[in-house]
Each structure stands twice: as structure tokens, then as C-alpha cells.
Amino acid sequence: MQNILITGGAGYIGSHTVVALHEAGFRPVIIDNLSNSDARVLDGIAHITGTRPSFYRGDCRDIDLLRKIFTQEDIAGVIHFAAYKAVGESVQEPLKYYDNNINALLRVLIASQEHSAGQEHVFPFIFSSSATVYGEADTMPLTEETPRKPATNPYGNTKAIAEDILHDVVHAQRRANASLYATPLHAIALRYFNPIGAHPSAAIGENPHGRPENLVPYLVQAASGRREPLTIYGNDYPTPDGTGVRDYIHVVDLAEAHVAAMQYAFAQTDAPRFDIFNIGTGRGTSVKELIATFEEVTGVNVPHTIGARRPGDVAVCYADTTKAADILGWRARCSIADALRDAWVWEQRQHTTS
Ligand code: NAD
Ligand code: UFG
């Protein structure tokens, strides 16, 4: 059984991935400083899997702690989720974002290199990137070959910089495969589209601190009456109904993509290498369509108003997922209706138990 370090494993996507890895026969080891999560998520994971994952409360910028975990747990691969992710906050506090998102990546990479140096088997390093790196693209759907555009906010820039760091590290290794850094690193950046939903058990889900910025967490809180009506940010986009179009993916499908990427990396023999995959459904859904689907599957009305466009939003963003299907053998299986139903059950559970 291979031990996989999951940084940020107490978070939204990380916790679902811990479950998926466990179900696939890996042994997840979590490091999380709980800056945007709660230790109770470990109970939720244990409820689903029957096993409490190994958990280290600490910061990924603490290289000594990382070295201790790598040795103690004999880590065979990494999935690096730990980062701050609020776009608006990143504009207000860019240093906070560059410090955490870049320095955490560097420390985890250094510890991975040190630990795997000289090993004969591949060391997978999977990184959480984002469709935000495409910016306002000229064509849809987005393929991995679609040129990246300069980031419009510091959060997005940390994802672009992180991809460049992974590229440079891997290519340096390919050139000089006799140094300490001659490690069998197989780096994979997964560019997530819009993750939504919760585990169908409602034992884990998304738990944003404060007022949610993203559509679905806000929508479910507005539907339950915990928030003011949802504001639709603009109905004058060049889309069929005028509202923004995104590629919403169930978080359980997204978690499965990490398992597929991990299995793929372990099966390779030509590391070091760096691969990039879009992780979405390939389908675009407008804000109005999403509200209508939510109302249909839950029978609950979503109070909403139309407001101005949100600065920085693109009109349309959805993935071409051919590469992930062809190479990883992965594709999304759940519908938006499934995801919205699960998000609603999770919201109700929070509401009644908090
Ligand atoms: P999340 O905030 O729920 O999870 C991140 C976890 O990392 C949290 O539990 C937090 O406590 C932890 N963390 C942050 N900095 C840390 C540090 N220095 N050391 C240890 N732990 C730390 O976020 P999420 O939605 O699960 O996102 C996971 C990753 O996916 C992030 O890198 C995010 O940028 C990326 N991503 C998310 C989305 C999305 O819409 N949720 C989209 C694209 C990419
Ligand atoms: N929206 C509203 N009202 C809200 C919130 C969102 O109408 O209260 C709309 C947005 O305008 C957009 C859609 O709903 O059209 C989705 O918005 P989200 O904030 O849920 O998601 P984004 O696509 O803006 O951003 C997400 C992640 C970012 C990531 C980006 C990259 O949150 O971290 O995808 O694609 F950078």
C-alpha cells in the first residue's frame, strides 16, 4: 500500500480526494494547518471510509515538519492542494497569497526531491491548478494547448507561476540526471474547472468561512434563507440567456481524477516529466440554467436578483476533456443535478447540526 501525502487534505477537494484514494487502495497522509478547514472533517472521512487518516496539523512552509513526515510515513507520492483560494482577498492581500501559495509549493517540492532522490520508482507530484490560467480565451472549449493569458489577479498568478516552477524543475532534472535533483519526479498539473457538490453521504462537503464568493455555496445558503437573495452577476453576456457559462464538475468526480492521475504517474517509466490535464465535464451551464436545475431537483426556490457584472469574470469557460479521457482514462460521471442535490443535502445537514 503506497502512502500519499495530501497537503490541504482537510479542505474541500482534499477531503474528497482522501476518500477516493483510500477507496482505490492508497494510504492517504494529511498535512493541513486548518487555516480554511476544521478538524471535524476527519470524523467525516472516518465515517465514510471506516478509517481515520493519518493527520499532521502543521504548515507546508515548515520544511522540518515536512522532512519528518516524508521519512516517518515513507511517502511515495504527493497531491499538493494547500493554498489560499479567494480571488477577491488575493487582490487586497497579494503578499499573503504569494507567500502561502508559492512558498508552500517550493517547500513541498524540495522535501519531495530530497526524499525521492536516487529512488528507482516514479515519484508522482500532483498539483491543483485552475482554469483561471486560460483567462479570457479566444476560443472554446479550452484545450491544454489553448494559450495561457496573463492572470487578472494574484491568486490566478500563483497558479501560473506554480505551473512554471513545476515545468522548470522537471526540465532541469531531465538535463542533469546525476545530481541530488535527479529524482524520478512526475509532476502533473490538473486544471480544475468549477468544482461543486458534496459527498453523497453528506459526511463531508464545502464549508466556506464567511460569505461565500462562489455561486453554488452562496446559492444553497440563499435558498435556505441564511443569506440575502443571490445576485446574478450580469445578464448581458454574449451567451444564450445572457448569464455567465461555466463547466461545473462534481467534487467526487474531481477527486477520482486525482486517483487516475496518481495511477497513471505510477505506471510511467520515463520520469522526470510534466503533464497538464483539464479536469471538467466538457459541458457549459449558465447561471440561470443552474438555478433552474437546482429548483427542479430540490423543489426549493432560489431567491435572486440581477446585478452588475463582477469585475474579472469571463463570459464563458468550459473544458475540452479529451486529453484526460484518452491518457488518464478518466471522465466525469455525475450530472449537475446530482451535484446540486448533494450540495443541498450537505447544506441542510450543516444548517441543522451547526
Ligand atoms: P480549501 O481552502 O477548502 O482547501 C485548502 C486546504 O489547505 C485548507 O484545508 C487549508 O486549511 C489548507 N492550507 C492552506 N494553506 C496551508 C498551508 N500553508 N499549510 C497547510 N495547509 C494549508 O480549498 P479547495 O477548494 O479544497 O482547493 C484546493 C486546491 O484547489 C487549492 O490549491 C485551490 O487553489 C485549488 N482550486 C480550487 C478551486 C475551487 O473552486 N475550489 C478551483 C481551482 C483550483
Ligand atoms: N456568480 C453569480 N453570483 C454569485 C457568484 C457567482 O452570478 O454570487 C456567477 C459568476 O459571475 C460566474 C458563475 O456564477 O458566471 C461562477 O462563479 P464562481 O465564483 O462560482 O466561479 P468562477 O468561475 O468565477 O471562479 C472559479 C473559482 C476560481 C477559479 C476560477 C477559474 O472560484 O478559484 O473558477 O475558472 F480561479
Dist. CA 343–CA 341, nearest whole Å: 5
Report how far ligand 2's centroid is from the alpha carbon of 70 (Å): 36
Nearest ligand for residue 133 CA: 2
Nearest ligand for residue 12 CA: 1
Are residue 227 and residue 134 in the same domain, yes or no? Answer: no
Are residue 300 and residue 324 in the same domain, yes or no? Answer: yes
Q: Report whether pLDDT(180) > 50.
A: no
Name the closest-CA residue to atom 21, ligand 1: 32
Are residue 35 and residue 71 in the same domain, yes or no? Answer: yes
Name the closest-CA residue to atom 1, ligand 1: 11
Residue 209 belongs to a domain:
no
Q: What is the mean pLDDT of residues 180-199?
A: 88
Residue 210 belongs to a domain:
no
Are residue 60 and residue 145 in the same domain, yes or no? Answer: yes
Are residue 176 and residue 264 in the same domain, yes or no? Answer: yes
| Mean model confidence pLDDT for the chain | 95
- 249-282 tens-digit pLDDT: 999 999 999 999 999 999 987 778 999 999 999 9
Are residue 173 and residue 307 in the same domain, yes or no? Answer: no
Kind of pairing, strands 230-233 and 273-279? unpaired
Residue 78 belongs to a domain:
yes
| Ligand 1 neighbour 162 (Cβ under 6 A) | no
Are residue 54 and residue 162 in the same domain, yes or no? Answer: yes
State which residues form the domain around 330: 215-247+282-349
Report pLDDT for 181. 43
Q: Which of 132, 214, 243, 254 to mutate to test the pocket of ligand 2 (most atoms within 8 A of CB)?
A: 214
Are residue 219 and residue 181 in the same domain, yes or no? Answer: no
Report the pocket of ligand 2 as residue ranges, CB < 6 Å.
Answer: 85, 87, 130-132, 156, 194, 213-215, 218, 230-233, 244, 246, 287, 310, 313, 317
Report pLDDT for 30. 99
Active site residues: 155
Count of domains for the chain: 2
Name the closest-CA residue to atom 13, ligand 1: 82
Are residue 267 and residue 341 in the same domain, yes or no? Answer: no
Q: Which of 310, 316, 317, 336 to mutate to test the pocket of ligand 2 (most atoms within 8 A of CB)?
A: 310
- Rounded to two decimals, the pTM is 0.97
Report how far ligand 1's centroid is from the alpha carbon of 83 (Å): 5
